[in-house]
Amino acid sequence: MTLNSSSAYKAPLIKIDDPGEAHVHGAYIVNLFTGHTLDQHSTAVGHDMQPHVGRLFPVHDENRFFYTGHNIDGELLDLIRMDKGVKSVRQERQGHWHTESCAYGILSERLNCTTLFQYTCAI
């Protein structure tokens, strides 16, 4: 699916499939297509997304990023997924949170670095 597609679009929702892990309620990792900005995303969603963004993460060697989103209810999640600039949305895992440096040199209090590494390798 591309940004210019005329058919109804809904970005895939990648759910946690490990029964031993839990999803953080209202928390998602939102992966945007190349060139899609947070301002464009907010406009497409029809809602200022800045209050929902925990951290922005650039994708290495590409003009795109993903962000950790929080306080996202079912209605807002649907609007986010209908934005044609959203490549995918992934449930955020509940787990061991820390502030150590990740593989990409990112400090994060909210994002499990193992999850971040696995996610960025998969996108």
Q: Which domain holds residue 66?
A: 15-95
CATH number of residue 35's parent domain = 3.30.70
Question: 106 in a domain, yes or no?
Answer: no
Question: 100 in a domain, yes or no?
Answer: no
Confidence class for position 55, pLDDT limits 50, 70, 90 = confident
What's the pLDDT tens digit per position in 69-110? 999 999 999 999 999 999 999 998 875 332 233 333 333 334
Q: Average pLDDT, whole number, for the chain?
A: 76
Question: 107 in a domain, yes or no?
Answer: no
Question: 74 in a domain, yes or no?
Answer: yes
The span from the CA of 36 to the CA of 76, in Å, is 18
The per-residue pLDDT for 80 is 98
Question: 25 in a domain, yes or no?
Answer: yes
Question: For residue 50, what are the contacts with CB-CB under 8 A and spacing of at least 6?
Answer: 38, 42
Give the total number of structural domains in the chain.
1
Render 82-117 in DSSP notation, one character per residue: H-TTEEEEEEEEES-----B-TTS-B-SSS-HHHHH
Residue in 85, 86, 89, 123 with CA at minimum distance from that of residue 104: 123
Question: 115 in a domain, yes or no?
Answer: no
